[in-house]
Amino acid sequence: MVDSPLPALRREYDQIVRQLDQVTAGAEREAVKRQIIAYFKQVDALIGELTALKDDVRKLVDRYKQVGTSTAEASAPEFSGVRPAVHADHIGASTFIEKGWSLISLGDYTGAIQALSRALQLSPGETQAESLLGWAQMLHEDYDDALATFQKVLMKEPANSLARINVGYICLKKKIFGEAIEHLSKAIRLDNDKKATLYAHFYLGLVYLQREMYEDAQTFFQKTLKLGPNLIEAYYELGRAYWFAGDPAQAKTTWEEGFKANKFNPWGKKCQETLALALQGQEPPRT
């Protein structure tokens, strides 16, 4: 790690302060003015460079997530949301909300939970903070806490489809299939958020697959791929729905299509691996 530039900048700041305390003549005042302007430009340029670097770090995180994605089980909904606007408030809650959003984006769910919990201490019941906290808890696999948090959000915003599909996902993970179907079906009926509608179909497919209702599962996975062809995971699950329904030929075709759709995606590779198993006469995983 390189040394921080802040100590040097702080020393320069203190030096300017001392010069201001000693200014007497107009020429001295003009010289300090020029120094302050140059100092401001230096700090502003550094902030711009650090902001650009921070955005690049997010790209690194995205690349890491792509490489490190686990294909052991269904993925949680991809985190999304507009960066919160930081505004001046006397209690400072918005700063913690923005920090929480950034930490979720960077994959630091523990840090995000801490920041957003602090935001809610400062501003109890703040819906945006509650929604982000639910995301952080869910991605940290604190499912009971996340479920309670999202239920608070839905009490205030029944048409919040993203919160609703997150509840559906959590219910799926906890095998509370009835509630999962209820929330996911409601998100589809609302149809007010494309991402929520996509994931609602996908997770309903998983619910019916786990319940061994294979034709229903196929229907929802097929609709998922129409809505979002880049959700490669749906090819893998659709192939399993065909296989366990007694249609191995269609299953193999589907896994081949999934691999061809994105050979570098972890789920595309999973399709290829499962196809190879099937061609060797072995069964694909049940879970």
Q: What is the largest CA-CA distance in the chain?
A: 93
CA distance linking residue 147 with residue 128, whole number of Å: 16
pLDDT at residue number 85: 60
The 3-state secondary structure of 120-176, one letter per residue = HHHCCCCHHHHHHHHHHHHHCCCHHHHHHHHHHHHHHCCCCHHHHHHHHHHHHHCCC
Kindly report which listed range (91-95, 194-198, 280-284) carries the lowest average pLDDT score: 91-95
Report the predicted TM-score, pTM, of the whole model to 2 decimal places: 0.77
- Please give the residue that has the higher pLDDT: either 40 or 200: 200
Report the percentage of the chain scoring pLDDT > 70: 90
Residue 173 within a domain: no
With bands split at pLDDT 50, 70 and 90, how would you rate the model's confidence at 66? low
Residue 11 within a domain: no
- Please give the residue that has the higher pLDDT: either 287 or 129: 129
pLDDT at residue number 286: 83
In tens, the pLDDT along 113-161 reads 999 999 999 999 999 999 999 999 999 999 999 999 999 999 999 999 9
Tokens of 18: 């001392």
Residue 116 within a domain: no
Residue 261 within a domain: yes
The tally of CA atoms less than 13 A away on the side-chain side of residue 52 is 5
Phi/psi at 160 (nearest 5 deg)? -80, 95
With bands split at pLDDT 50, 70 and 90, how would you rate the model's confidence at 24? confident
By CB atoms closer than 10 A (0-12, 13-18, 19+), residue 2 is exposed
Tokens of 71: 């294909």
Residue 168 within a domain: no
Domain span including residue 252: 229-287
- Please give the residue that has the higher pLDDT: either 39 or 87: 39
pLDDT at residue number 262: 95
Residue 94 within a domain: no
CA distance linking residue 44 with residue 54, whole number of Å: 15
Q: How many domains does the chain have?
A: 1
DSSP 283: P
Kindly report which listed range (96-100, 176-180, 196-200) carries the lowest average pLDDT score: 96-100
Instruction: Mark 14-25 as b/e (b = at least 16 C-beta within 10 Å).
Output: eeeeeeeeeeee
> Residue 164 contacts by C-beta under 8 Å, 6 or more apart in sequence?
150, 154, 183, 184, 186, 187, 190, 196, 200
User: Are the CB atoms for 135 and 79 separated by under 8 Å?
Assistant: yes
Among 106, 227, 109, CA closest to 165:
227
Per-residue pLDDT at 68 exceeds 70: no
pLDDT at residue number 129: 94
Kindly report which listed range (22-31, 54-63, 132-141, 164-173) carries the lowest average pLDDT score: 54-63
Look over the chain and give the mean of its residue pLDDT values, rounded to a whole number: 89
By CB atoms closer than 10 A (0-12, 13-18, 19+), residue 235 is buried
User: Are the CB atoms for 257 and 225 separated by under 8 Å?
Assistant: no
* Average pLDDT score over residue span 245-260: 97
Distance of CA 283 to the CA centre of its chain: 33
CA distance linking residue 229 with residue 210, whole number of Å: 22
In tens, the pLDDT along 204-243 reads 999 999 999 999 999 999 999 999 999 999 999 999 999 9
Residue 71 within a domain: no
User: Are the CB atoms for 220 and 201 separated by under 8 Å?
Assistant: yes
Residue 125 within a domain: no
